[in-house]
Amino acid sequence: MHDGNMQTLLAVTAALLVIVVAAQVCGRIAVKVGQPAVVGEMVSGILLGPTALGAFAPGFSGYVFSEATKPTLYVIAMVGLSLYMFLVGLEHEHHPASRREAVLPVVLAAAGLLCPLLAGGAAALYLEADFRPEGVSLPLFVLFVGGALAVTAFPMLARVLQERGMVHTDFGGVATRAAAIDDALAWCVLAVVGALAVHGNVLDSWKTIVPAAGFAVAAFLILPRIFRKPMTRAVREGHVDDRLLVALLGLVLAAAWFTDYIGIYSVFGGFICGVALPRVRGFSALLNARLLQAVRCLFLPVFFAFSGLNTDLTGALNADYLAALGVVFAAAFVSKVIASLGVLRAFRWGWGESVAMGGLMNARGLMILIFINIGLAIGVLEERLFSILVLIAVLTTAVAMPFYRLHFTPTREQDARDRWAARHSPADPDRRFLQAAATG
């Protein structure tokens, strides 16, 4: 006879196996139809929830995703998210070549936050009679929905551009920096929402905001002093040793615990630590080689599945539901496109590149799922609107690449790479040859 711990172990192990396999299968299908793998992984989470597996195989679903299993999956997902957001923060590297190059991403990110905040707020006013949870104030509900629509998935966008060979282009540089700034601003909005939700009013929310601000300041002051030398040594040796890895893991877990304790959730702790670490060129790639694959292939699929368990689309053909989905999708998609068009046209970019940027900035991916899961946990969202926003995550991410491809054919991508290389390569052909020889 198995004891309770063994029963939980068996169920959780089975759940992890199902989750990882489903994410891989759906991710590969997504790639085959021209979508990023993350779109398929998000869909796999929905399929494992009550929408598909729970409806067609309730006995099996009830075993692997029982009420006893869910808390363990939640812990695994949140630890993985803290590590993932730490790696995201660590990737925020930029060295602008000019003031104009430095200003454009900031303006684009600000517009990409403000337009969806306003559009999402308007959508929330339309939805609030049917979808605002009892006890949640209207301003808080409006701010949360607007903040959720303002998110852009910086890590996914960066990886898409890497796969397309577009990171080292003017377009890629602006896109990745704007998305990184947009994400950081959106997390600030979520921190305020979390503080207001926990404490109920602006005056009492200082109990969360002040410790969070103190934590961020301390991280930026202390972490560079502690970690610059070991990180530089790791790059020089081409290896992150166990001592440094354990120190970083301990840092992320301690930060996750603290930010959870004060009420702004563990993902902020990981993200702030990643951003606050010193910018040592090449270290992010070294650490990613040790951590990212396990986080992406195991922990993130668990998070997608946990999101899917809270997503019930069995009533999605209801007219009211479809109307709400249409309103939120229009607010989410159009606001990002208008923000990108307005800013880039003002900076004299072409229509094609501006539309492509609007498409990519709609790739909300994993970031909006983190955002809305926290909203569900703190009671700002109820499950129907949560399900709608999960669909928004999938739909807006799915339309990103088709809009990008409207302008960027393979020929135009090559032209963009050539233009960037011509400006950043040494003028003297002999210097170019020697530099190429030196770098292999």
Q: What is the pLDDT of residues 33-76, one digit of tens each?
A: 888 888 898 899 989 988 899 889 999 998 889 888 889 998 99
Of residues 2 and 145, the one with the higher pLDDT is 145
pLDDT of the residue at 331: 95
Residue 177: pLDDT over 90: no
**CA 194: distance to chain centroid?**
18
DSSP state letter for 164: T
Q: Does pLDDT of 428 surpass 70? A: no
CB 169 within 8 A of CB 416: yes
- Average pLDDT over every residue of 221-225: 94
pLDDT of 436 over the 50 cut: no
Q: How does residue 234 score in pLDDT terms, banded at 50, 70 and 90?
A: very high
E strand or H helix that includes residue 130: helix 99-131
Rounded distance between C-alpha atoms, residue 159 and residue 165, angstroms: 10
What is the reported pLDDT for 101?
A: 64
Phi, then psi, of 428 in degrees rounded to 5? -80, 125
> How many other C-beta atoms are found inside a 10 Å radius of the C-beta of residue 212?
23
Residue 217 in tokens: 């300041």
More confident residue, 280 or 159: 280
- What is the pLDDT averaged over residues 130-141? 89
DSSP codes joined into one string, 326-391: HHHHHHHHHHHHHHHHHHHHHTT--HHHHHHHHHHHT--HHHHHHHHHHHHHTTSS-HHHHHHHHH
64-115 pLDDT, tens digit each: 898 888 899 989 988 888 898 888 778 765 555 556 667 898 899 999 999 9
Q: DSSP states of 410-430 as a string?
A: HHHHHHHHHHHHHHHS-SSHH
- Each residue of 307-360: pLDDT tens digit? 888 888 876 668 888 899 999 999 999 999 999 999 999 998 999 999 999 999
C-alpha to C-alpha distance for 417 and 253, rounded to whole angstroms: 40
When the pLDDT of each residue in the chain is averaged and rounded to a whole number, the result is 84
For residues 362 and 287, give the distance between their C-alpha atoms in angstroms, rounded to a whole number. 28
Q: What residues contact residue 156 under an 8 Å CB cut-off, 6+ apart? A: 36, 38, 363, 365, 366, 367, 397
pLDDT over threshold 50, residue 427: no
pLDDT (tens digit per residue) in 275-289:
899 988 889 889 988
User: Residue 401 above 70 pLDDT?
Assistant: yes
Q: pLDDT tens across 384-398, in order?
A: 899 899 999 889 988
Structure tokens at 314: 């069995």
Q: Residue 310 has what pLDDT?
A: 81
User: Could you give the CA distance from residue 404 to residue 343 in angstroms, rounded to a whole number?
Assistant: 17
On the question of pLDDT at 419 being above 90, the answer is no
Other CB atoms closer than 10 Å to residue 171's CB: what's the count?
Answer: 25
**Could you report the per-residue pLDDT of 238-271, keeping only the tens digit for each?**
999 999 999 999 999 999 999 888 777 777 788 8
At 192 the pLDDT is 78
Task: Give the residue, 159 or 418, on which the prediction is more confident.
Answer: 418
DSSP string, 181-249: HHHHHHHHHHHHHHHHHHHSSTTTTHHHHHHHHHHHHHHHHHHHHHHHHHHHHHHHHT---HHHHHHHH
